[in-house]
Structure 1
Amino acid sequence: MSSRQLRKLQKQRELAGNTDAAPAAEASSSEDDSPGPVPAAKPRVSLFAALGGDGDENGDDDDEPEEEPQPDSEPTEQQASQSAIKTSKKKKKKKKKAAKAKAQVEAAAENDDEDEIDKAILELKLAAPRADASTGQAQPEPQQRINELLSINTHHLRAINEMRQLFGREVIESAAAEEQREASNTRQRRGGQQNVDLETFLRGPPGMKKLPEVSLRRNVFIQGREHWPRATAGGLTMEVLEKRADGTTEYAYVHDNRYDAVQTFFFSCVQMGDPMRIVHLLAQVPYHVSTLLQVSAVAKQDQNMALSAELCERALFTFGRVATTAFRQDLERGKARLDFRRPENRQLWLAGYHYLRSLIRKGTYRTALEWAKLLFSFDHKDPYAMRHFLHFLAIRAYEGQWLVDFIEELERTSDNRDTAYLRQSLVLAKLQLKDTEGAKAELRAGIQRLPWLYCALYQELNLDAPPSIWGVSADTDARSFWTKLYVYQTKDLWNNTATLSLLQQVAKSLDKVETAQLPASDAPPDLGATRLAYLEGQTSIIAAAPREYLDMQPNYEFDPLPPPEEDNIFTGDGCRMPWRDRNSSTRAMDNQMEAQLRALIERQQARLQAGRANNNGQGGGAGLAGIPPDDEENAELDMLDMDDPELRQDLEEHARRANAPGIVQTLMRMLRGDGAPEEEYAHEGEHEPAEYAYHDDSDETPGEGPPGAWPS
């Protein structure tokens, strides 16, 4: 109840009290003067009726009538009674009219006030949608939708969570305990040996300091491992560069002077072509990302896939430990952005790609899908062509509806013409969703649009091509590239009873496809797709990739096929080293770097000699490295083992042969086929098995169940 209504009620109460008191006083005086008939009692006024404003419509008075004072000459009793009644009626009418007029005035005033309040509230309500509308204009609906599709659930970034769901918590814990016991027994057996394997050396001696439990578990990317050494990130940090109008935020990883110096030394070690130099460097800077990725490649060549994946995990752990809380929040909403032109950021893509491959090898497809979404969300230009992972991983992870939404949104927001190939996986997605009619429609349109793709798919599945597409093959390098890439990734997904039956049914029902009415060629692969093919290592796919991208220099394993130098954003000399021209103008910079390294050698000579003297009696990791383990968190750079005549000689030789290519470039030229016949390059490894398989060539029988199901 408003304050105005309360005041009105109070006035009416006072008025009712006054009218009650007047008749009582007159009645008492008349009783004292002369006895007479007692007037009939008037009914009391209801206070609730007063809230109505105008009183009762039946003529009941709101107030008691006032009686006329008795005159000196008393009239007869009947006359007095009639006179009192007339007077009372006149006063009641006047009072009623006045009260009604007063109530109307107050109601009008109150309504005016309420109208003003309503108008203000209405304006406020209208103002809020206008603000939202302006925000909606700054962030268009398609951009908002793609952000929603690429939002990340950090629970799915941990492979251990999916493995527990697949195999059970008890099985995983018992397997981890067994692995720990085997590792402990191995260290005990090799305790007295001077030479140890790479994995044992990188673990360090028993009893060394470990990272805090909080740091291991509260990482946005990777849950750390207990045996990882205790050390800082070495000068790697994260900064916020820009908060954009579309609601996204651009972040960047930054190297400080300390980290940049290690990066420079790392590049020198790569140029020397000695893998053990890089392994020694990693022992001193255990969280230097480029070194971790390079040693991961060394472990892969040593056929130690578990160690290779673990080193990629440690690189991702390093990125995660310096990430900010705001970055994690934007990451979960699909609004975190990284610029691929920054070499510091590119290391995250490379580490994520290699870790993604290890997840596929283990069969943890749901986790792999989340990582592919993560890498795509950082830059929608897709520098690592993650879209060519997302389509088949979504089928493997039984995320068919997500794939349908993603492909449709990708076609609206992207100008990549290769989405026509990705769209063929919607046939598999709709079969998973029990939408057989939708799958038939997609398959019919796909065969008519890409007949060469389905002809190649028939060949890979050991089926006879139907007349509608028989003899149609990819007639350009672009079509050959996209066809080989798609078939390589999805062959096993099509090899099941339901899909093969639908494929043969629809293909046989179509007339001969008229290829003359189709586009002359498809869009050539961009640099991102070429980078993906290069990393996959399938020579049959690389042979169809654009040569101008494959011949780009520099091209190192720690930064494959980077953008041209003018497109990069450099913030330090360490990341610029691969692009430095080897001529007289930069030779002085080489000499300056060599002088700095020599100063480091002299500064650490006494300390390293003392460390070796203390380490002579230890077995563990002394044999491989010949250096003491590092127990200090901030001693990564100071403990570089450069007190070595052979290392000095290598550095001097590196300065003298500045124009000579390193071993990595030589290997790259061998892979590209420079100096080898083109025919040999085109067919070399055509049928060799991939390092990790999307399909099992030994099982030629179609699988049961929907696409993406585990083999029985």
Structure 2
Amino acid sequence: MSSRQLRKLQKQRELQEASKDAVRGQESEDSGEDEGPAPAVKPRVSLFAALGADGDDSDEQDEERERDEDDGGPREEEVVLPQSQPSKKSKKKKKKKSKAKAAAASGPEPAGEEEDQGGEDEIDKALKELRLSNEQISGKLASEAQSSGPARRINELLSINTYHLKVINEMRNLFGRDVIESANAEEQEEANRRTRARNAPRQVDIETFLRSAAGPKKLPEVSLRRNAFIQGREHWPRRTAGGLTMKQLRQADDGSFTEYTYVHEAEHDGVQAAFYSYVQMGDPWRLVYLLAEVPYHVSTLIQVSSVAKQDQNMALAAELCERALFTFGRVATSSFRQDIEQGRARLDFRRPENRQFWLAGYHYLKSLIRKGTYRTALEWAKLLFALDPKDPYAMRHFIHFLAIRAHEARWLVDFVDELERTSDNRDTAYLRQSVVLAKLQMNDTAGARDELRRGMQRVPWLYCALYQELGLDAPPSIWGISSQSDSRSFWVKLYIYQMKDLWNNTAAISLLQQVAKGLDRVDASSLPSDDAPPDLGATRLAYLEGQTSLLAVSPRELLDRQPNYEYDPLPPLEEENIFTCEGCRLPWREREDRANGPRGTPTAGILHMLRRRLQRGRVAGGGVMGGGGGAEDEDVDEDEIDDELIRELEGHAERGDERGMLEALMQFIRGQAGTTGEEGGGEGGAGDDDNEEDLADYEHDGHGQEGDWLPGAWPGDEDGR
């Protein structure tokens, strides 16, 4: 029998004995008294007296109290106890003076009475302390909310629901689970067909090669589903994140945000340097083979995704961007995941390691729009906007039309109102015009009419251009008012490019015509003569969109910035960047490499990069990748190792053996990363042993052997190797 049942039996026994004592005491009192002790109170007194005298049961009671606290509150028997005090006081007030004197003369109260009173005092004291602590917490939260109201409001609007970050959830809502499962079955059947035929052709497409190179080992199911950003795919290879990690940098004093950053460890930094050298060579197949060796290197994933787009394989391009975001999610900390759900997570765009997240997110966002999954696309746009208040990818110009597409009109109205209060961007006047469509979607026709009237008076040149795009005659109230400068034309063209289709419906066109008829002639001279020029974020968006009409009016001084690569478009100036690793700094060293580096062979860039890193590592007194060597490395002749490696790479280059050169380089990078004592993070294994085991399995399956097929043909290699 449990201790709780024994305690209940003990209470029942004490209650019966106390009732008998109360009856005997009442019979002995004077029959003329009109009041007597309440029998319901006396049992509780004797009950606590008995329980207080029993040491063993007291221990059991303490254990029960601890269990009750863990469960979130006291049990019902303990809550009833404070109610006994009022009845006892009322009984004492009704007693006669003679009765009170007799009781005082008879001696002190029984021990049970004192213990009961003391127990009630402790309970009351605990309740008062609890009430006081709750009031203090409430006051503190209220003061914090008052001191940082705007910041907390924008965080609330930009809070992320991770359910909506995964497109599979929206696909199931749109098409049903059965349709999605059928599509997945067809995709799996196609993958099995490629696996059976992977050794038949000598020249294959990128997708077939990458899936064949993945090998038999796949990521665990828990890693695929628990990712904060992307639900992984079953055929993705089981490899580590390759030295990509995340750490927390700082937290705001008022708790409004927490800054994080992604970090390139030694292994990842070495691969980044090799990747940059391959980009300089200009051969996409080298990047494809590099991706087969390091399948979760983010820069390579993004660059090969662009190659897949040029090959008209949009599905593969989207999948590679998904894998890049999946990699970021693998190494994300639990606190980062919680902060993005509350809109408090921040990444600094000036760090090259973080910029890859925005670029992968942008390309993935475009793929979501092509699929028509606007709710997921809106959640991603909110996330990319929330991570940096400066909005480096101008996500605000995606959010306003995605909110309409996703039927989030109420949220859009609140967001635009808050953006106008907190942002100093003058282009919010254009975003404000989408509130007209939002209120139409909310069936608030009167509010939409008022917003449209104010909009025509505020930005008449926008509506004049919109009338023209919709094939309508501009009304007399705004006729002839057009944008005269490139800055104003940029914002007008960007808005119409995003929102033209949403305005092209019967309800919106009818409202445009009705409001314009009742509007007086707008005085353009009273309005600002020009708009603020596009910032770097908006220019970067125009560059990525590739619209010639936008590029024609974009600032030339921003578009012509160098360096400018597809894996890092229009980065900040060199002095504005925050560099923590050498691999990310290489694009700014391009001119220096061209001036000092050896030329004439395809591997010149790689060899020069290695020499620079080897020299820098020796000057710093550490390993090749900047890690400190242990005592066992003191007798190693680094010059001999360096020369041997360079001779091996040059030999591969002379023979045209690009495969052997890359494998030697990857072995060198992994070996030097191992000397630093750092291991790759990520789920599903986080060490060099996993990499070596996966590489062994990869070679065991027929890859990496002499005469094995390669995708396409390497330059100058006629037999396709």
TM-score, normalization by structure 2: 0.70
Distance 1:56 1:531 in 2: 86
1:135 positional shift: 3.1
**2:282 aligned with 1:266, yes or no?**
no
- Conserved? CA contact 1:232–1:634, under 8 Å: no
Superimposed CA distance per residue, residues 562-601 of structure 1 (whole angstroms, 9 cap, x where no aligned partner): 0111111101110000112634998379775244697556
CA distance in 2 between partners of 1:338 and 1:635 (Å): 37
2:542 match:
533
Per-residue CA deviation, residues 342-365 of structure 1 (Å, 9 max, x unaligned), is: 000000000000000000011110
Structure 1 residue 113 displacement after superposition = 12
Deviation at 1:182, TM superposition (A): 3.2
Measured at CA, do residues 96 and 497 of structure 1 come closer, stay the same or move farther in structure 2, by a change above 3 Å? same
| Distance 1:600-1:357 versus aligned 2 partners, 3 A rule | farther
Tell me, in whole angstroms, the C-alpha distance in 2 between the residues paired with 1:523 and 1:637: 55
In structure 1, the gaps of 5 or more residues are 1-9, 24-40, 64-91, 100-105, 616-629, 645-712
Secondary structure of 1:47's aligned partner? coil
What is the CA–CA distance in structure 1 between the aligned matches of 2:164 and 2:129, rounded to whole Å? 48
What's the CA shift for 1:335? Answer: 1.1
**C-alpha distance in 2 between matches for 1:232 and 1:61:** 86
Identity %: 63
Letter of the 2:273 counterpart: T
Equivalent residue number for residue 351 of structure 1: 360
CA displacement at 1:632 relative to structure 2: 3.5
* Superposed displacement of residue 208, structure 1: 2.1
Q: Deviations over 1:670-700 (max 9, x none)?
A: xxxxxxxxxxxxxxxxxxxxxxxxxxxxxxx
Indicate yes or no: 2:527 matched with 1:518: yes
Decide whether aligned partners of structure 1 residues 455 and 637 sit closer, same or farther in structure 2, where only a CA change above 3 A counts.
farther
Could you say which residue in structure 2 is the equivalent of 1:46? 36
Residues 336-347 of structure 1 aligned to structure 2 (within 5 Å): 336-347=345-356
Task: Name 1:593's counterpart in structure 2.
Answer: 609
Which of 400, 412, 430 is the equivalent residue of 1:403? 412
Sort the Cα spacing of 1:328 and 1:473 in 2 relative to 1 into closer, same or farther, 3 A: same
* Unpaired stretches in structure 2, ≥5 consecutive residues: 1-17, 39-86, 107-113, 599-604, 615-641, 664-690, 708-721
- 1:491 counterpart letter in structure 2: K
Tell me the residue number matched to 2:227.
Answer: 219
Looking at structure 2, the residues matched to 52 and 250 of structure 1 have their Cα atoms a distance apart, in angstroms, of 61
- The one of 146, 157, 166 equivalent to 2:165 is 157
Aligned residue identity for 2:515? V
SS in 2 for 1:507: helix
> Residues 384 and 126 (structure 1 numbering): CA distance in 2 closer, same or farther, change over 3 Å?
same
Question: What pairs up with 1:542-561 in 2 under 5 angstroms?
Answer: 542-561=551-570
Matches within 5 A, 1:465-476: 465-476=474-485
Question: For residues 137-216 of structure 1, what are the structure 2 equivalents within 5 Å?
Answer: 140-188=148-196, 191-204=199-212, 208-216=216-224
Taking the TM superposition and a 5 Å limit, the aligned residue runs for 1:551-590 are: 551-580=560-589, 582-583=591-592, 587=596
- Measured in 1, the distance between the counterparts of 2:696 and 2:579 equals 26
Q: In the alignment, is the contact (CA less than 8 A) between 2:318 and 2:364 conserved in 1?
A: yes
Deviations, residues 84-135 of structure 1 (Å, cap 9, x unaligned): xxxxxxxx9x989999xxxxxx9xx99x999999997776565334433443
* Aligned twin of 1:251: 260
Does structure 1 residue 314 correspond to structure 2 residue 350? no
CA contact (8 A) 1:262 1:637 kept: no
CA, structure 1 residues 122+637, in 2 after alignment: closer, same or farther (shift >3 Å)? same
Checking the alignment, whether the CA contact within 8 Å between 1:234 and 1:634 is kept in structure 2 is no
Shift of 1:52: 3.6
The aligned amino acid for 2:441 is Q
Q: Distance in 1 between matches of 2:573 and 2:278?
A: 23
Q: Which amino acid aligns with 1:218?
A: R
Q: Distance in 1 between matches of 2:133 and 2:221?
A: 50
Give the CA RMSD over aligned residues.
4.0
Larger radius of gyration, structure 1 or 2? Answer: 1
One-letter code aligned to 1:232: T
Q: 1:120 to 1:352 in 2, by over 3 A?
A: closer
Alignment check: 8 A CA contact 2:420 2:428 kept = yes
C-alpha contact 2:490 2:534 (8 A) present in aligned 1: yes
Which of 452, 455, 467 is the aligned partner of 2:461?
452
Matched residues in 1 for 2:441 and 2:501: separation? Answer: 15
Query: How many angstroms apart in 1 are the aligned matches of 2:697 and 2:354?
Result: 21
TM-score w.r.t. structure 1 length? Answer: 0.71
- Larger mean CA deviation between 588-597 and 273-282 belongs to 588-597
Q: Tell me how far apart the structure 1 counterparts of residues 402 and 409 of structure 2 sit (CA, whole Å).
A: 10
Partner SS for 1:238: strand
**Alignment: residue pair count:** 557
CA contact (8 A) 2:37 2:91 kept: no
Quote the offset at 1:179 in angstroms: 2.8
| C-alpha displacement of 1:148 | 1.0
The yes-or-no answer on 1:416 pairing with 2:425 is yes
Q: Secondary structure at the match of 1:204?
A: helix
Give distance in 2, aligned partners of 1:461 and 1:381: 33
1:584/1:197 Cα in 2 relative to 1: closer, same or farther (>3 Å)? closer
Q: 1:200 is matched by which residue type in structure 2?
A: T
Q: 1:179 to 1:637 in 2, by over 3 A?
A: closer
Deviation at residue 207 of structure 1 after TM alignment = 5.7
Cα distance change, pair 407–297 in 1 and its aligned pair in 2 (3 A) = same
Letter in 2 for 1:414: S
Is contact 1:236-1:259 (8 Å) kept?
yes
Kindly provide the CA deviation profile for residues 644-667 of structure 1, in whole angstroms up to 9, marking residues without a partner as x: 9xxxxxxxxxxxxxxxxxxxxxxx
| 1:429 to 2:438 alignment | yes
Residue 703 of structure 1 is matched in structure 2 by none
For residue 447 of structure 1, give the secondary structure of its aligned residue in structure 2: helix
- Name the CA distance, whole Å, in 1 between partners of 2:178 and 2:135: 57
Name the CA distance, whole Å, in 1 between partners of 2:489 and 2:541: 15
Shift of residue 187, structure 1, vs aligned partner: 4.9
Query: Partners of 1:219 and 1:409 in 2: how far apart?
Result: 31
Q: How far apart, in 2, do the equivalents of 1:163 and 1:193 lie?
A: 35
- Say whether the 8 Å CA contact 2:145–2:152 is kept in structure 1: no
Q: Distance in 1 between matches of 2:593 and 2:179?
A: 62
- Output the CA distance in 2 between the equivalents of 1:119 and 1:198: 70
Native 8 Å contact 2:214 2:292 kept in 1: no
